[in-house]
Chains A and B, each alone.
Chain A
Amino acid sequence: MEEAQAKYDRLIQAIATEKDELAYKELYQLLYPGVKRFAISYLRDYEQAEELGDDVMISLWRNKNKLSNIRNIKVYVLVLARHRCLDLLRVKKNRFEQLEDIHIDLQHDENSPENIVLTNELKAKITSAINSLPPQCKLVFHLIREEQLSYKEAAEVLSISVKTVDAHLVSAMKKIGFFLKKEYDH
Chain B
Amino acid sequence: MDQEKLYELLARRLSGEATAQELEDLNTYWQLHPEEMDLKQAFEDLWKVGSKEVTATDFERHRLKYKIDFEPELIPIRPSYPWVWYAAACILIISFASAWYYSSRIYNTSVIVTVSAEMGVKKRITLPDGTTVWLNSGTNLSFDEKMSDRPSREVQLVGEAFFDVVKDKAHPFIIHTNKISVKVLGTAFNVRAYANDQRTEATLIRGKIQLDVNGTSQRFILRPNEKFALAEHMGGQNKIGARRVVQTLSLQKVKPVEIAQKLYTEEVAWIENDLVFTNEPFATLSLRLERWFNVKIKIENEKVKQYRYTGKLKNESIEEALKAMSSVRPFKFKKNGDDIIIY
Contacts and interface: CB of A to CB of B under 8 A. Distances in A.
A29 B16 contact: no
Contact of B39 (A61, A62, A107, A184): A184
A14 B51 CA distance: 27
A8 interface: no
Contact of A108 (B14, B50, B62, B69): B50
Nearest to A123: B46
A115 B50 CA distance: 11
Contacts of B46: 106, 118, 123, 126, 145, 176
A106 B71 CA distance: 39
A9 B127 CA distance: 62
A160 interface: no
Interface stretch (A70-78, A80-88, A93-101, A166-174): A166-174
Interface in B16-66: 16-17, 38-39, 41-43, 45-54, 58-59, 62-63, 65-66
Contacts of A30: 54
Interface stretch (B1-9, B136-144, B163-171): B1-9
Contacts of A126: 46
A150 interface: yes
A146 interface: yes
Contact of A170 (B7, B39, B43, B69): B7
A15 B206 CA distance: 42
A109 interface: yes
Main secondary structure, interface of A, reads: helix
> Could you say which of B11, B15, B48, B53 has the most chain A C-beta atoms within 10 Å of its C-beta?
B11
Interface string A45-89: 000000000100110011000000000000000000000000000
Nearest to B70: A21
Contacts of A170: 4, 7-8, 11
Contact of A58 (B47, B52, B54, B66): B66
A128 to B, nearest CB: 14
B10 interface: yes
Contacts of A144: 11, 15
Given A29-B58, A32-B62, A54-B65, A176 B43 contact: yes
B38 A184 contact: yes
28 contacts: A25-B59, A28-B58, A28-B62, A29-B58, A32-B58, A32-B62, A108-B49, A109-B51, A112-B50, A114-B48, A115-B45, A116-B45, A117-B38, A117-B41, A118-B45, A123-B46, A145-B47, A150-B16, A151-B15, A151-B17, A166-B8, A170-B8, A173-B43, A174-B3, A177-B7, A180-B39, A180-B42, A181-B39
Interface of B: 3-4, 7-8, 10-12, 14-17, 38-39, 41-43, 45-54, 58-59, 62-63, 65-66, 69-71
